Amino acid sequence: MISMKRALVFIVMLAPLASILALSSPASARPASAVERSSAEIEWVWPIAAFRVTASFAAPAHAYGPGHRGLDIVPLDGNSVFAPAAGIVAFAGKVADRSLVTISHSDGFVTTLEPVSPTLVAGSVVDAGAPVGEVATGGHASLGTLHFGVRKAGVYINPLTLFEQIPRAVLLPCC
């Protein structure tokens, strides 16, 4: 009975070690493509070259609660929209009253840009900064405004957390 107990303890202690060794073996190692890199290696660029933020991210209290799940940005120079990171276009088309582009990136990130008249089709591979379309009309944002949403593992996050260069706030005089 004691030897059976020792054998069970030995197996229970050995199993995690075996799985660690299996996961770290050279046979499972492979180079990461531009679409498979970790979040620390993802190059994030703004989807609009020059812009002004008109509505900031406001996280909802719960999954279906009210909030603003992204940034609304107004282009200051042209209407071109660019891929915020390397990835694969998951959707490019119309949903309800707006056209949009959704891009799947590595490490569970998904970005949505709307309203955008897409110049690419679903399945297109894009690099960070590649043109994906033009700001269009429709949706909740004001005319000429782009909504930029980011999800990480299905949960909306503040897009500002992905950028090293956050646009500087401009204080306006009072009264």
Structure tokens at 71: 């940034």
- Asked if 85 and 128 count as a contact pair (C-beta separation under 8 A), the reply is yes
Q: Is 9 helix (H, G, I), strand (E, B) or coil?
A: helix
Residues 6+ apart with CB under 8 A from 10: none
DSSP string for residues in 70-125: SEEEEESS--EEE-SSSEEEEEEEEETTEEEEEEE-GGGEEEEEESEEESS-TT-E
Sign of the torsion angle spanned by Cα atoms 80, 100, 92, 125:
positive
Domain covering 39-162 in this structure, CATH number: 2.70.70.10
The whole-number pLDDT of residue 172 equals 78
- Asked if 97 and 135 count as a contact pair (C-beta separation under 8 A), the reply is no
- Asked if 49 and 77 count as a contact pair (C-beta separation under 8 A), the reply is yes
The whole-number pLDDT of residue 40 equals 59
The whole-number pLDDT of residue 168 equals 65
Distances 122 to 44, 81, 118 between C-alpha atoms, Å? 21, 16, 10
Structure tokens at 144: 């000429």
Q: Mean pLDDT of successive 10-residue segments in the chain (175 residues)?
A: 50 41 32 43 91 88 85 93 97 93 95 96 97 92 91 92 73 78
- For residue 36, which of 125, 149, 157 has the smallest C-alpha distance? 125
Residue spans of the domains in the chain: they are 39-162
The whole-number pLDDT of residue 134 equals 97
Give 101: exposed, middle or buried? Use CB within 10 Å, 0-12, 13-18, 19+: buried
pTM (whole model) above 0.85: no
